[in-house]
Amino acid sequence: MSKNLEYFRNKLLTLKEEAEKRLQAIEHDIQHEDTPKDWEDRASETENDETLESLALLTERELEQINAALARIDEGSYFNCSECGAPIPEARLELLPYTTLCVQCAELLEKRQRGLAT
């Protein structure tokens, strides 16, 4: 691979830092300093909290994937597909630095998921 592990490690560490900041901001927004008095404001706040909680879950999942990718760098398996062992193209890693699948395995997984959904 022409790009070294440090390039992708730094890319992942930057993404991790951004995700951690985003998660902190979400958690801060969920904590209410002053509870609204009327029920319409509370209902609106509850709806906003549900959206924020969904965003927090997505961000936590992203952090898990980033941490797993960093562990794969340490193990020496970062550039290989977790399913078939084939090399993951650098262009794919550039777009999805925490991916675990090569293009072919990702497409197979997507087809399987669509098949289950229909």
pLDDT at 18: 97
From CA 95, how far away is CA 115, in angstroms rounded? 26
Q: pLDDT value at position 3?
A: 56
User: pTM here?
Assistant: 0.79
Q: What is the Cα–Cα distance from 26 to 105, expressed in whole angstroms?
A: 34
Q: What is the pLDDT of residues 59-101, one digit of tens each?
A: 999 999 999 999 999 999 999 999 999 999 999 999 999 999 9
Rg over CA atoms, the chain: 19
CA angle (19 as vertex; 16, 22 as ends), nearest 5? 150
Helix-helix angle 5-30:39-75, to 10 degrees: 160
Query: 16-63: per-residue pLDDT in tens?
Result: 999 999 999 988 877 765 665 676 766 677 778 788 899 999 999 999
pLDDT of 1: 43
- Phi/psi of residue 80, each to 5°? -110, 140
**Per-residue tokens: 34:** 């002053």
Which residues lie closer than 8 Å to 86 by C-beta, 6 or more apart? 80, 102, 104, 105
The answer to whether domain 5-117 has CATH 1.20.120.910 is: yes
Which amino acid belongs to residue 108? L
